[in-house]
Amino acid sequence: MEGPGVGAGDALLILALETSCDETAAALVEDGHIRSNVVSSQADLHARFGGVVPEVASRRHLELVMPVVREALAEADAMLGDVDTIAVTQGPGLIGALLVGLSAAKALAWGRDLPLAPVNHLHGHVASLYLEPDPLEPPFLCLLASGGHTLLVDVPERGAFRRLGTTIDDAAGEAFDKGARLLGLGYPGGAEIDRLAREGDPEAFDFPVARVPGLDFSFSGVKTALLYAARDLGDEFSERRADLAASYQRAIVRALVQRTQEAAEQTGAERLAVVGGVAANSELRASLPDAKAPPLALCTDNAAMIASAARYVQAIPPPGYLALDAYASAL
């Protein structure tokens, strides 16, 4: 089981920062209500490289973090003096990117003598379900599918979860991004494949997804299958891109849905949820009609979900948090 379950509390104004990958984000959340949620995406900056360049991301976070915090305060019509707790993503993610957010959060907390709540990014994605106006109450089974992670977790209470399965190689979002690159689409690729797939036939190609033991996932094979199919098409490749995208998306979604249903049977879970960037996928949402999914803006990385998770993390008073370090891998 992960997570202490004791929280910073509810009736507090929390200012949260999120800089684990290529989104610089800040949000103000009070009692589960989002007062502001500002996300500055660096996607355009990384697009020409076809993926996130860590050093470029860190530098951009450094430029954006304070303007984004100021915008979040302004949108919430609040001042730093109104804030009760600072929250920040401590990991997992890109270490240099995380350190920018963590350092900024420490400085903000220190300057105002406020406590600091360090948040696990994965708990953040799950906590996107606890925000108003329609929060989900545990227990539930949750599929967390993003660019960096693909997990099935059992959530017995807010602030805690138990891992049932994970990917043994690529994350589902990574498979979307790599597939999109192969199809000559932009970065990030998930939304682009989602769009192109609407014009294609999902049964045109048979892309099997490897079944691994237990409740784990594997997505490295499906992108090789896409590579070979694209190569075999030769001159026909361009006109068949929509079919390739639709079939590829179908294979990934099928694998996610199958494992989620198996986990639900094994655990006897009555409620299902799906979170993370891939939860924005239209076919996945349609294939799990009974699963609760956050609004699209709360699926991809944002700081409102970090503030939401901070309510169930013990905030550290000054000066204890000054020694906190970021971590790159999931604990």
Give the per-residue contact string, 128-167, with Zn ion (x = CB under 5 A; - = no): ------------------x---------------------
CB of 62 vs Zn ion, minimal distance in Å: 20
CA 238 and chain centroid, separation: 31
State the DSSP code for 328.
S
Give the type of residue at 194: D
Instruction: Tell me if 18 contacts ligand KG4 by CB under 6 A.
Output: no
Instruction: Tell me if 191 contacts ligand KG4 by CB under 6 A.
Output: yes
- Report the SS3 class of residue 11: coil
What does 300 interact with, of ligand KG4, Zn ion, none (CB < 5 to 8 A by kind)?
Answer: ligand KG4
**Contact between 101 and 26 (Cβ < 8 Å):** no
CA distance 108 to 209: 46
Instruction: Tell me if 194 contacts ligand KG4 by CB under 6 A.
Output: yes
Instruction: Tell me if 89 contacts Zn ion by CB under 5 A.
Output: no
Instruction: Tell me if 131 contacts ligand KG4 by CB under 6 A.
Output: no
What does 189 interact with, of ligand KG4, Zn ion, none (CB < 5 to 8 A by kind)?
Answer: ligand KG4
Of residues 146 and 260, the one with the C-beta less far from ligand KG4: 146
CA distance 310 to 298: 16
**Contact between 106 and 322 (Cβ < 8 Å):** yes
Instruction: Tell me if 200 contacts ligand KG4 by CB under 6 A.
Output: no
Considering only 300, 304, 309, 326, the residue that binds ligand KG4 (CB under 6 A) is 300
CA distance 73 to 123: 24
The stretches of the chain forming alpha helices (DSSP H) are: 43-47, 54-75, 95-112, 121-127, 172-182, 189-197, 220-233, 241-267, 282-287, 296-299, 304-310
CB of 20 vs Zn ion, minimal distance in Å: 7
Instruction: Tell me if 301 contacts Zn ion by CB under 5 A.
Output: yes
Residues between 84 and 123 that touch ligand KG4 (CB under 6 A)? none
Which positions lie near Zn ion, rule CB under 5 A? 146, 301
